[in-house]
Chain A
Amino acid sequence: METKLLLKAEDGWKKIFEPDQIVRSITRIAHEILENNKGGVDLAIVGVRTRGEFLAERLVGKIKEIENIDIPLGIVDITLYRDDLAHTPEQPIVRGTVLPFNVDHMVIVLVDDVLFTGRTVRAAIDAIIDFGRPRKVQLAVLCDRGHRELPIRADYVGKNISTMRADKIQVLLSERDGEDAIYKKEAKTNNN
C-alpha cells in the first residue's frame, strides 16, 4: 500500500486549489469532452496510473450524470514505456495496464493529474497504440504547469499554473490521499 503524502506548510507547501475548485473543473471538462465528441459516440476515458486513474473514474461518473451514458474506462501504466528507466534510482513497481475494450476506431481521452514535461503523455500514447489504432487521442489534465520537453498540448485543462521549472506541484485526490487539493512548493532561489 502506498503511504499517504504529508504536505506541511512549514516545508514550504502552499495550497493553491481547493476541493470545490477541483469538482468544478471536472464538471467543466466533462461538459467540454461531450461537446467536442458529439455527446460521447465511440468515446473512452483512460487514466494514467495512479492519480489519473481516479480522475478518469470521476469523469466517467460525471458524464453518466450529465448524459446518462456509460463510457468505457481504462487504466494505463506507463512504467514499461518510460524513457528514463536506465536512469531511475530504484526498481519501479509495475502495476499493469487495463483496457477492457477494443481500442480500434475509438476516441480516447487520456487523463492525468499534472502536465509537465509531456514525457508521461508520450509514454501513455505509445502504450495505448500497442493495443490498436484509436481514431483520435485527446488529453485532459487537472493542471498544466508548463515546461514542456516534447511537442504535446492538452485539449482540456482544469487549471493553468505558472511555475519555475524547479518548483514542485502535487495533486492530492481523496481516493488515494484522503483530500482533494493542489499544492505548490516554490524552489529556493539563491538570490533571496
Chain B
Amino acid sequence: MKHCGEKLGQHLLGIAGLSKEQIAYYLDTAETFLEVGTRSVKKVPTLRGKTIVNMFLEDSTRTRTSFEIAGKRLSADTVNISSKGSSMNKGETLIDTAVTLQCMQPDAVVMRHASSGSPHLLASYLTDTAIINAGDGLHEHPTQALLDALTVRKALGRLNDLVVTFVGDAYRSRVFRSDKILLETLGSKVRLIAPPTIAKNEFKDLGVEVFFDMESGLKGSDVVVSLRMKHEYLNDCFVPSLSEYSRRFCITENLLAKYCPDCIVLAPGPFVRGTEISSEVIDGNRSFYTDQVAHGVAVRMAVLYLHTIGKEVSYEV
C-alpha cells in the first residue's frame, strides 16, 4: 500500500467524506500556489520525475487544460489520454486500460468519465497510484468544488454561515453535488432555484432549500452560482424551451440588485450568455468567473502535490 501522508487519503474521489480540516488543508495549500502563477517563470521543481496521466474519457477543455498546466507548473511529466485515439475505442474495458496503466507506474491518474463511480473502480485496481476524480457522470467533481470554495473564501473571507444559491440544472450537475457537500461540511446553507421539473423532491430530502422563482430564492443570498442548462438534454423535456427558461430563471443585474445587492456570482462550467446569466452580470463587478479559472490551476497543483509526494516512504505507523 502506498504511503500518502497522514492528513489525506491516497485518492481524491469526492468531497464526500472529507473533514473540515482536510478541506482547509487543500485550500491553504492551493492559496500558496497562486503565487507561482504570478511569477515570470511559472514553474517549480517540486514534482520532477513524477508521471501524471490525464485520462479524459469525456469531452473537457477547461478541466483538462487546468490539470495539465498544474502538472507542468510543478515540473511533473504529464501524459494525456482521451477516449478518441485510445484503445478504449477499440473495445478495451476500463479495467484492462487501468491494468495496462498500472504497469507504466504513473504517480497519479486524473480521470474524467461519463459513468458515475468509474474513478472508484479504477482506484480499486491501481494500488500504487493516486486517483484524482476530475468529474464522474452525475456524481462528483471535487476539484471544481475546491476551486469554487477558494474563490468564495478569498472574496468573502469565510465559508461558514453563508447562503449559497444555485440557479439552473442541478439535476445533471456533479458540480452542484460536490459544492453542496463541501458547503454543508463547512457550515453554510445551500439553496436551489429551478423549474419544478428539475428541482424535484429528492433535493429537499438532501436538505436543500428549493425555490421555483427567483425573487424568493435570491433574497438574502451571499453567493449565487449559475449552473448550465444542458441543451444537449433538452429532449428530456425538463423545460419546454431555453428561451422560456431564460425568461423566468436568467440571472440578471436587476434581480440581484433588488434581492441580494451584496452577493457575488460564480459560473463554474461553460455558460451561455443570455440564457442562464446575463452579460451584464458576467462582465460586472460581482462576477468571479475569471478568478475561478486562475484558482482552478492552483487548486489542481495543490491536489497533485499533496497526493503524489511522500510516496517511497515505508515507515512504521
Contacts and interface: CB of A to CB of B under 8 A. Distances in A.
Max count, chain A CB within 10 A of own CB: residue among B33, B39, B309: B309
Contacts of A94: 29, 32-33, 305
Interface string A95-139: 111100000000000000000000000000011001110000000
A86 interface: yes
B306 interface: yes
Main secondary structure of the interface of B (DSSP, over half): loop
Contacts of A88: 309-310, 313
Contacts of A85: 46, 309-310
Given A94-B29, A96-B35, A130-B39, A87 B312 contact: yes
B233 interface: no
A178 interface: no
A11 interface: no
Contacts of B39: 130-131
Nearest to A83: B45
A93 interface: yes
Contacts of B315: 89
Nearest to A86: B312
A3 interface: no
A89 B45 contact: no
B32 A95 contact: yes
Nearest to B41: A130
B280 interface: no
Interface of B: 5-8, 25, 28-29, 31-33, 35-36, 39-41, 43-46, 74, 305-306, 309-313, 315
Given A92-B309, A96-B32, 20 more contacts: A80-B74, A81-B44, A81-B45, A86-B309, A86-B310, A87-B310, A87-B312, A88-B310, A89-B310, A89-B313, A90-B7, A91-B7, A91-B306, A91-B309, A91-B310, A126-B45, A130-B39, A130-B41, A130-B44, A131-B40
